[in-house]
Amino acid sequence: MSGAPQRLVVDGASRLHLPRHIKFRYDEQRAAWIILAPERLLLPDPPAVATLQLVDGERSVDAIVDDLAARFAAPREVIAKDVIALLQDLADKGVLAA
């Protein structure tokens, strides 16, 4: 049986990108970063913005974690846990693809 599509599971090797129908941009009117999706508008918090700015389809999640851990001088394990949880949530909502 080939029922529902398989869930994308985010791990350190994942290379994620925004599908064409999803836009991540700075909105001047709101003075905030937004994610525009069909019939949805998401307002990511500053840590999510910092993470999403690195999601380009080229970098792995591990590379994103390394960049953020260096930038914010935080323990890599803590950053990795938070980043994977964030990216998994967005992938589950259809905002990210592999």
Per-residue pLDDT reduced to its tens digit, 48-98 = 999 999 999 999 999 999 999 999 999 999 999 999 999 999 999 999 999
Determine whether 36 is exposed, middle or buried from the number of CB atoms within 10 Å of its CB (0-12, 13-18, 19+).
middle
Contact 90, 84 (CB under 8 A): no
Q: What is the reported pLDDT for 53? A: 98
Domain 23-92 = CATH 1.10.10.1150:
yes
Residues 23, 35: Cα–Cα separation, whole Å: 6
Residue 24 half-sphere exposure toward CB, CA atoms < 13 A: 17
Contacts with 62 (C-beta within 8 Å, 6 or more apart), sequence order: 12, 13, 80
> Tens digit of pLDDT for each residue in 20-53?
999 999 999 999 999 999 999 999 999 999 999 9
